[in-house]
Structure formats: C-alpha cells, structure tokens
Amino acid sequence: MLRRRHITLIRRLVTKIVDPEAARLRTIYDEPPVPLAGQYPDVPQPDDPMSPMVIAARWGSRDLYGEDMPGVAADLLEKGYDTPSLRRLAGEMNVACSADVEPLVARVFRELGVRYPLTELERSLIASRQIAREVIAGKRNAWTSATHLEIRIWGWIPKTTELETIFRINDELSWDFAHRRRLSELETVLLDAFAALAIIEIPTRATSS
C-alpha cells in the first residue's frame, strides 16, 4: 500500500495537472496590485483619499468607524483643512463607537462644505467608485476590493449591474474547478466591471440638514 505522504503527493500532482491555477488561487488576495490605466484610459485617477467628500462617503457607508475619526481629523489638519469642530475631533481621546462622535463628525463635514448627510445610495456609490478607481490605478488588489465592496460597503446586496458582476465573480472563486470559469477569464470580467464602476454617475438628491 502507498504511504499516506505518497498519496498526498499524488493528489497534489493531480490537482496541478487538472487545475494549474490552484496554486495561484491560494494567494490571489495577496498579490500586489498592478496599474491598469493604460488598459482603461477612460477611467479617471482616484480622488484624493483625504478629500472631505470621500471621507464623508466612507463614514456614511460604514467604511470608517468612530475610533478612526480622530486620526482622520488629524490628517485633515495636516492637509491644511482647519475648522473648530475638526480641531475638537482630532483631540477626542475616548471614542468607543461611531455614535460617540456622530454629531461632531456631522459638524465637521458641514464646516468643510460637504452636504451631509449623503443619501445611502450616494455615499455607497461614491465610496465604491473611489475603490474601483484605486483598483485601476494599481493602488488596490482587485480581489480583496471585490470582497470589501460585497461585505463592508453593500452587505451582499448590489445596487448596480457593475456591482452584481463583481460580486458574482468574487463568489465564483469558491466554486469547484469543474464548474468555475478559468481564472484569467474571471479576472478579465472583474477588471472590466471595476472599470465600469469607476466611471459610474452618482445620482444625487437634496437631503435634509
């Protein structure tokens, strides 16, 4: 009888023969991002991550937590933004949850000229578009970004066809190799969807102050 280690070795060899992408699938979320601007010339560069609008969108879509905001405020001060509420927020020392600083954060955004609050759709789409542009600019791994969008920003409920495609491709990675499309095909479709998301128009409407 073959020893267990020999059986394991045979299984690994068979896996590599049947699915040569198996090894890459184990590390796909750790791959360094690659700039793709040449492939998608219509995609604008990402906005400044310290743009008050980007921060407001991330905050509203729960991509930033209360304990993050004093550090964000300090970074904004270093960037040259300066308001009374921003200074106060930067000095907050005991923030346990988002509710602790929500009124102060709201004042900060209004003092910085950001219409607040954004609608749920606005803030999630602004945050998503920024992430998509960062993927195309080579600042984010596409696969980790797909998971981040699906779980953190949208809670598994896509609101656009681009997001539906991204979530579907991300989920297909877990399928058995016999039913999954080749990784190269999945990646092409995923990047095309990110490029489309990166230029999506954000619907706006007036919100109460």
DSSP notation for 29-64 = GGSPP---TTT-TTSPPPPPTT-HHHHHHHHHTTSS
The pLDDT, as a whole number, for residue 24 is: 83
Per the CB < 8 A criterion, the answer to whether 190 and 146 are in contact is yes
| Same-domain pairing of 41 and 95 | no
Average pLDDT over residues 161-171: 97
Determine the average pLDDT of the residues in 100-123.
96
| C-alpha–C-alpha distance, residues 188 and 199, integer Å | 17
Whether 64 and 167 map to the same domain: the answer is no
CA distance 97 to 27: 34
pLDDT at residue number 75: 98
Judge whether residue 1 has pLDDT over 60. no
- In this prediction, what percent of the chain has a pLDDT beyond 90? 80
95 and 158, same structural domain? no
Which residues, in sequence order, are CB contacts of 7 under 8 Å at separation 6+?
none
Task: Using the 3D structure, point to which of 111, 132, 150 is the last residue of a domain.
Answer: 111
Is residue 135 a part of any domain in this protein?
A: yes
Residue 12, in any domain of the structure: no
pLDDT tens digits for range 36-46: 999 999 999 99
Q: Which residues contact 82 (CB under 8 A, 6 or more apart)?
A: none
Average pLDDT over residues 64-68: 96
Please report the pLDDT score of residue 22 as a whole number: 74
Tens of pLDDT along 74-107? 999 999 999 999 999 999 999 999 999 999 999 9
In angstroms and rounded to an integer, the radius of gyration of the C-alpha atoms of the chain is: 21
Q: Residue 8: pLDDT band by 50, 70, 90 thresholds?
A: low
Number of residues assigned to the chain: 209
| Residue at 209 is within a domain | no
Is 16 a member of any domain?
A: no
pLDDT reading at 55 higher than 90: yes
- Cβ neighbours of residue 98 closer than 8 Å, sequence gap 6 or more: 62, 65, 66
Please state the domain count of the chain: 2
Domain encompassing residue 61: 52-111
Mean pLDDT estimate for the chain: 90
Whether 161 is covered by a domain: the verdict is yes
Q: Name the domain boundary from 111, 129, 144.
A: 111
How far are the Cα atoms of 24, 66, 169, 197 from residue 185, in angstroms, in the given order? 14, 40, 10, 18
pTM over 0.95: no
Give the span between the Cα atoms of 209 and 201, in whole angstroms.
23
